[in-house]
Amino acid sequence: MVTAPVETELKLEYQHADLAGLLAQLGRLAQAGACLSLETAYFDTPERDLARAGYCLRVRREGERVVQTIKPLATGSAGLFTRREWETELPGPRAKIDLRCGPLRDAIPDLTVERLRPLFKLQVKRHLFRFEEGETLIAVAVDEGRIRANRRSEALCELELEFERGSTQAMFDLARTLHAQTPLHLSVRSKAERGYALADGAMKAAAHAEPVVLDPAITAAAAFPIIASACLKQFRANESLLAGADSVEALHQARVGLRRLRTAITLFRSLFVGDPERAALSARLRRLAADLGEVRNIDVLMTQPELPQDQLASARAKAMAQVLAELGQSQTRLLMIDLARWLAIGAWTHSAATSPGVTPFATHVLKTCRKRLRKRGRRLGRLSHEERHDVRIAAKKLRYAIAFFSSLFAGAKAEKRLRRMEKALGKLQAALGDLNDLHVAQETLAELGIIIPDEPTADDRKHRLLAQAKESNRALRRAKPFW
């Protein structure tokens, strides 16, 4: 019998050293259930047809019972996963493709079971609990185990709070209660995503922004969590890398994720009128981004071999230690959980029913961003550093807005105009970014007490970059809107 229920769960991560304390804490708060041993294999074709179609197929053995489950690969709201799933009981561990496979037959018409191969496997010990309070029921699962693929393996320490009935707020309240005693991190990747990354050898790769694809039929209020979750996912994926290794690119991408998230909150600010949390969350994000920015400024300087690398390395190590300390603080971990709650059930969602359609909303935002950039970019060659910085910020907002909304505008003409605008905007942003780096470099060196002689070539480079910025700005002003 195939079922297609909607599952809503909040995923969190813990450290293995905290497992005993977490289980003891849950034992005091909830009713303990079974402890299960699960063996799960995820299947795909050698060409990754299922992943490209946006689905995962797993076969799980639990005692004598074998169940095949098909799910969308990743449809979550920053830790809060709401997914439809299709289950089929099987006589054995071999995957099965038939009419009961939900969307797979439509998504991949030529898919046959002979083409499927086990791509990665999970061995998990699952501790089950039931949290019941009034009308609220939350199923709790604590998973400990490993993901294995191609002779590689990765530890899995995951806590799932699955909402069954009652108040969604209670699920986040329980997460906060558990977090008060056990360090928990918001999880933004499903087991399937982690397994695919392990199979492809991409576990340690810095996470870049994933494409945002919006349905033109949804409202702006429905689009915001999708966009914000993608930004938060980029930050958390890179933050996890920073805890295990000092990666320059991961730090940069974590910072980009925060910047994109802050921009999304700004672009959608008309939704948050009367919501007291928006300003507080934005301020917390701004402080975190500033800490990451200090390290990034030194990273830029370290690309210049003529500067004293030993002094810069020492300064970077100190700044990075401060970042890691900040990321390890309880309040920073809690910020991610609070953001997930706000995106899902914040006060702003109460007026979501009156939100405009996403396409007219996106058109208005893109027009406003373009108009602001055109206004600030006039007489670019005569602007002060502070005024050029404002142009740079306006260019970033337009670029992020394009990334957020471009999927809404289809057609050959729109795509051609989009490519032209993106090309000119990218060149403008690069030139303005390099100009800003020149200015920030002098400030950073002065703060570090590093004195270097004036270089005649610095002025030449500044004039060259300014000329590039002016040329790109002219091309951008000629580019026609794609919306």
111-144 per-position pLDDT tens digit: 888 889 999 999 999 999 999 998 999 999 999 9
**Structural domains counted in the chain:** 2
Q: Which of 151, 165, 183 is nearest to 19 (CA)?
A: 183
- Residues β-bridged to residue 138: 131, 163
- Identify the domain boundary among 183, 203, 223: 203
CATH number of the domain to which 113 belongs: 2.40.320.10
CB 477 within 8 A of CB 424: no
91 belongs to a structural domain: yes
263 belongs to a structural domain: no
363 belongs to a structural domain: yes
CB 170 within 8 A of CB 178: no
- Identify the domain boundary among 179, 203, 227: 203
- Residues β-bridged to residue 117: 44
Structure tokens at 456: 């005649």
Q: What angle do CA 372, 374, 376 make, to 5 degrees?
A: 65
pLDDT digits (tens, 9 = 90+) for 138-170: 999 999 999 999 889 999 999 999 999 988 899
Question: In which domain, by residue range, is 133 found?
Answer: 1-203
> Residue 292, Cβ neighbours under 10 Å: how many?
26
227 belongs to a structural domain: no
Helices in 329-479 by DSSP H: which ranges?
330-345, 358-376, 385-405, 412-448, 456-478
165 belongs to a structural domain: yes
Judged by DSSP in three states, 81 sits in strand
324 class by beta-carbon count within 10 Å (0-12 exposed, 13-18 middle, 19+ buried): middle
Radius of gyration of the chain (CA): 25
pLDDT at 80 > cutoff 90: no
Structure confidence at residue 1 as a pLDDT band (50, 70, 90): very low
Residues 6+ apart with CB under 8 A from 393: none
Structure confidence at residue 3 as a pLDDT band (50, 70, 90): very low
CATH number of the domain to which 431 belongs: 1.40.20.10
